[in-house]
Structure 1
Amino acid sequence: MKRLDGKIALVTGGSRGIGKGIALRLAADGALVAVHYGSNREAAESVVRTIEAQGGQAVAIGAKLDSLAGVEQLLHAFREELVRMTGDRRFDIIVNNAGIGTSQTFEDTTEQSFDELFAVNVKAPFFLVQQALPLLRSEGRIINISSGVTRIAFPHIMAYNLTKGAINTFTLHLAQLLGPRGITVNAVLPGIVDTDVNAPWLHTPEGQKMATGMSALGRVGQPSDIADVVAFLSSDDSRWVTGQMIDATGGSHL
């Protein structure tokens, strides 16, 4: 028996990068996984096909997570798929992974980009949890993907860093709020991870040198490194862990 057999997970931004790694790992552990995507339907469906080829269950669900309307669209589609696949609307695990970054420096950050960052990185997970709570089973799990930039100063992307600081605060207070229902809430803080978003600069000699030099373990993080932490936090093994910010940077800047 796999440790997530019978569990149902919603992974936002699950079509690529860290989210894809998380979706694949939770499915491998036995969960039925809803793979959310914002725009790349084919990528999400490819993840679903991979999961199904490995004997798991998954479904792709698309929605733009930059407003309450987008959150409601996602949850409506998710509920319909759950009823179709399981006969029930309830589920067990939320992984708030979807997010956007910025290449704008602190000095060049515009009001529009600032608002976009907070809409996707903060507003969406806030209202997703708020709206999903009636469907989330007691003893459930909420895992928020934050960032190591909340511990390590990178002032040139300050607006992005602020959104992840907000996610840490959200995690702490939500854990206190939902504790009476046995729902644990934790954040995972990745460092530099080898994803397609980072590939243009990371897959250069200079990028590799910088990234490996930051880590105490002397290598670049992989999506599976983060997914394994999320899998632990999704399982009953983590039942006594809540309100925590789990550093998964490979010891960056110790």
Structure 2
Amino acid sequence: MAGYTLITGASGAIGRAAALKLAAKKKPLFLHYHQSKNEAFALKEKCEAYGVPVYLVKSDLSKKGGAEELFKQLHSPVHTLIYNCGISHYGFFQDIQEKELYELGNLHLLNAMLLTKKLLPSMISNKQGNIVMISSIWGNRGAAMEVAYSAFKGGVNSFVKSLSKETARSGIRVNALAPGVIETPMMAGFSDEERAALKEEIPSGRFGTAEEAAEAISFLTSEKAGYINGHVLDINGGW
């Protein structure tokens, strides 16, 4: 049996789409979730319908120790990591609470690094591995009212570019996907007027879909992307 693919935040829109895409390609899966238990179990059943083994793992990656909690539940080597966790904090930077800052840092960057660190020895031993971090357009450009989120996603991008230089000789590729506006439940808080104004800013005139993000993830983790390493792939409709 080939090594497993671990998808964090698998019950979210992009994580779910990626899980289904990879299950269809007969990839064994570890699907991580924190609070969305029902959604995770439903996704597990849909993925298993493709005839692949699927296991659920639960941990809170916004907390210190979240990566360790997750790692202890993995019973088989992980060949591919898709780190797809994220919450945003909208507001002026001076208003963010220290607790919220640490939660954002743990979730977006620190536990991403710590989980990768735990998975690397097996990948290096096997001389193969794939890591894809889900970053954000704001990790490249920065966004007012989302300063901490932008800073941590920028850290993810630097982590990807730096780590890839260390691991390339061991057959391990490290890349990131930087989505713009993707049609997910996170967009539910926007009014019709706000959505229309946002679409006007995007050259393609629409939001991306979770399935389009999943296609990009599938490509980055495939042999077709074998010479792509240390890259942050924009998926933003030209925004």
TM-score range, shorter chain: over 0.9
Given the two structures, how large is their TM-score scaled by the length of structure 1? 0.88
Q: Distance in 2 between matches of 1:170 and 1:153?
A: 17
Residue 106 in structure 1 maps to residue 93 in structure 2: yes
Q: Is 2:174–2:230's contact at 8 Å kept on the other side of the alignment?
A: yes
How far 1:115 moved relative to its partner? 1.5
Residue 183 of structure 1 pairs with residue 172 of structure 2 = yes
Q: Which amino acid aligns with 1:167?
A: V
Cross-structure match for 2:207: 220
Residue 159 of structure 1 corresponds to: 148
Secondary structure at the aligned position of 2:186 is classed as: coil
Change beyond 3 A, Cα 1:134–1:90: same
Deviation per residue, 1:142-191 (Å, 9 max, x gap): 00110001233421110110010000010011101111111000010001
Gaps of 5+ in 1: 80-88
Runs of 4+ more than 4 Å apart: none
CA contact (8 A) 1:8 1:33 kept: yes
- SS of the residue corresponding to residue 72 of structure 2 reads helix
Q: 1:132 aligns with which of 119, 138, 148?
A: 119
Q: 2:59 aligns with which of 60, 63, 81?
A: 63
Q: Does structure 1 residue 34 correspond to structure 2 residue 23? A: no
Q: 1:50 aligns with which of 41, 46, 49?
A: 46
For 1:86, the equivalent position in structure 2 comes to none
Q: 1:58 to 1:207 in 2, by over 3 A?
A: farther
Distance 1:183 1:16 in 2: 26
Identity rate, percent: 27
* Matched residue, 2:186: 197
Question: Over aligned residue pairs, what C-alpha RMSD do you find?
Answer: 1.6
The answer (yes or no) to whether the contact 2:142–2:151 under 8 Å persists in 1 is no
Amino acid of the residue matched to residue 38 of structure 1? H
Deviation track 1:205-228 (CA, whole Å, cap 9, x = no partner) reads 213312322322111111111111
Matches of 1:248 and 1:118, distance apart in 2: 23
Q: CA deviation at 1:139?
A: 2.2
Query: Contact 1:208–1:220 (CA<8 Å) still a contact in 2?
Result: no
Aligned to 2:21: 25
How many residues in Structure 1 have an aligned counterpart in Structure 2? 237
Report the CA distance between 1:231 and its aligned residue: 0.3
Instruction: Tell me by how many angstroms 1:57 deviates.
Output: 3.2
Asked whether the 8 Å contact 1:9–1:93 carries over to 2, the reply is yes
